Amino acid sequence: MSVLITTEILGEHPLLTTVSTKLDLVNAWVRSGDGLVGFGEYKKIELKGENRFVAARKWWELQLAEFNIQNNVHGSGTGPILFSSFSFDPDQISVLIIPEIIIGQKNGKSWITWIGDSKQPDLGKLNNSPISSDIAWQEGSISESNWRTQVGSAIAAIKSGKLEKVVLARDISASSKSEINVRGLLQRLEIEYPSTWIFLVDGLIGATPELLVRLSKSLVTSRVLAGTIRKTGNEDRDLTLAASLAKSSKDLEEHEYAVRSVADALAPFCSSTNVPESPFVLHLSNVMHLATDVTGVLNDSAKQADIFTLIEKLHPSAAVCGTPTEEAKQLIKKLEQMNRGRYAGPVGWIDAHNDGEVAIALRCGELSSDRKMIRIFAGCGIVAGSDPVNEFAESQAKLMPMRTALETL
């Protein structure tokens, strides 16, 4: 028996501000006002293991085989959508969700997709979101002194020649007496960080500046970030800092490792790739990053890679793990002593044509099931020229997007 999936043009509906249904907002993917939001769960599956990306593809194909898709809009991101949030480590749980209702918007065009034989859902008016109580912060899995010690140990391992770069992460937690206002948190992140990808998938929520892979027909894009400097809020001073970041041998070295890992992973699947000679400086409201957009065109062959293959080959990149990958993984397990969960894993959406956008889950937090607690994360790339004190300060800056958004709800 086939399941009807219908997609129709929709009137103007700003994604995070006016849409309301009787179903929970469980998924979101928004950048500069465009994107997708999902309500309710039609189906959900949890996966783990080294083959989780292959298993995800098989599960999505099984669901698509049951769908009778009536798409009157067409284009990337229309029709049924799979929201995915993969774990960093294969031993942890990854989550795939197909929403009951999806609202999309791109370049001024809005659409709605729903599952079932009913008429187009009535979106109604925005219900009042829960008002969060004061946030209380607690120390995370790793104390400041212990994390600095870990960074020092990583630097020593790098200088001994065991590896070139490793990324070490830390977390802090917050609690609220009432349910954290998820819609309000997404709106705060969208206002403050419009150039990032704002996401929500099964309680993992954040604003990431790093795109792991976008696949649109055969065009592949990956935005690589590595090398960071904090902003001061003084425009002239920040321009000077941006110039220094662009010339920093330590940051350029870290960035080169990350770009090389992405370009090498894409090369076997692309007939051509473009890797700019030098990075640009990406300005966010609190930090600046060295950034490079790597692009490619998939090989035109029967064995052409799909988005699941690309995710598998790109994760984990040097930007969240290190170089060489296996050595960095082992050092992370030895030093970090923290469960990353779905932090630093691939997060995003995939459509029925296996086009999609998948980012790296950075600048994010994981909500508890009752949405009264959240654990937020930050990581830093450690190379031979790193300093534990400076790296801790950088991690604090990377925690600020989520901290500030939570504290201003």
- How far apart, in Å, do the first and last CA atoms of the chain sit? 45
Specify whether the CB–CB gap between 188 and 409 falls below 8 A: yes
DSSP-derived letter for residue 379 is E
Specify whether the CB–CB gap between 167 and 345 falls below 8 A: no
Q: Considering the chain, what percentage of its residues have pLDDT values greater than 70?
A: 94
The pLDDT, as a whole number, for residue 130 is 58
Tens digits of residue pLDDT in 371-405: 999 999 999 999 999 999 999 999 999 999 999 99
Q: Model confidence at 18, in pLDDT bands (50, 70, 90)?
A: low
The pLDDT, as a whole number, for residue 303 is 63
Q: Model confidence at 120, in pLDDT bands (50, 70, 90)?
A: confident
This prediction's pTM: 0.94
The pLDDT, as a whole number, for residue 121 is 84
Rounded to the nearest integer, the mean pLDDT of the chain is: 92
Coil/strand/helix, residue 29 = strand
Mean local confidence (pLDDT), 186-212: 95
Instruction: Check whether 13 has a pLDDT greater than 90.
Output: no
The pLDDT, as a whole number, for residue 270 is 93
DSSP-derived letter for residue 327 is H
Among 343, 330, 306, 369, which Cα is nearest to 93's?
Answer: 343
The pLDDT, as a whole number, for residue 268 is 92
- Cα distances (Å, whole numbers) of residue 333 to 158, 326, 346: 16, 11, 19
Specify whether the CB–CB gap between 67 and 61 falls below 8 A: no
Specify whether the CB–CB gap between 225 and 212 falls below 8 A: no
Q: Model confidence at 238, in pLDDT bands (50, 70, 90)?
A: very high
The pLDDT, as a whole number, for residue 122 is 77
The pLDDT, as a whole number, for residue 126 is 52
The residue among 258 and 43 whose pLDDT is bigger is: 43
Specify whether the CB–CB gap between 204 and 261 falls below 8 A: no
Specify whether the CB–CB gap between 317 and 328 falls below 8 A: no
Residues sharing a CB contact under 8 Å with residue 56, sequence separation 6 or more, in sequence order: 47, 84, 86, 94, 96, 308
Q: Is the Cα torsion angle 402, 404, 405, 407 positive or negative in sign?
A: positive
Record the tokens describing residue 383, joined without a space.
Answer: 């190379």
Mean local confidence (pLDDT), 348-366: 97
Specify whether the CB–CB gap between 180 and 366 falls below 8 A: no
Q: Which residue has the tokens 């989550």?
A: 95
Q: Model confidence at 133, in pLDDT bands (50, 70, 90)?
A: low
**CATH number of the structural domain 3-117+136-407:** 3.60.120.10
What is the amino acid identity at position 136? A
